[in-house]
């Protein structure tokens, strides 16, 4: 809706410009600190999840290449053997 209004006002096509909306947290006064803390924590959690996923893929690959079954790998890593199969499938898709 904003893009449409701007294009109409400037008499240009909606595709002729980029629109970026940025929140001014400072305008929220005392809420700024808690919002920033929550956003930083969410960012840190996403990075930690990425690291955990990578570690899990490496561990699965090493366990399986050592001759253990997917059931064994699941028991060692605390997940189901179906999850091990999913991880292996996703790792194979990443390589291709």
Burial letters for 52-73: b for 16+ Cβ neighbours within 10 Å, e otherwise? eeeebeeebeebbeeebebeeb
C-alpha angle 58-60-84 in degrees, rounded to nearest 5: 135
Q: What's the number of domains the chain is made of?
A: 1
CB atoms within 10 A of CB 18: 6
pLDDT in tens, the chain (96 residues): 888 999 999 999 999 999 888 888 888 899 999 999 999 999 999 999 999 999 999 999 999 999 999 999 999 999 999 999 999 999 888 776
Residue 34 belongs to domain spanning: 2-95
pTM confidence score: 0.66
């Amino acid at each position: 809706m904003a893009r449409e209004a701007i294009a109409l006002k400037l008499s240009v096509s909606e595709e002729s410009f980029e629109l970026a909306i940025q929140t001014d947290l400072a305008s929220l006064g005392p809420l700024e600190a808690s919002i920033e803390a929550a956003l930083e924590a969410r960012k840190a959690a996403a990075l930690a999840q990425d690291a955990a996923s990578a570690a899990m893929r490496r561990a699965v690959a090493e366990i399986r290449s050592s001759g253990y079954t997917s059931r064994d790998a699941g028991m060692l890593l605390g997940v189901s053997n179906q999850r091990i199969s999913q991880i292996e499938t996703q790792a194979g898709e990443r390589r291709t």
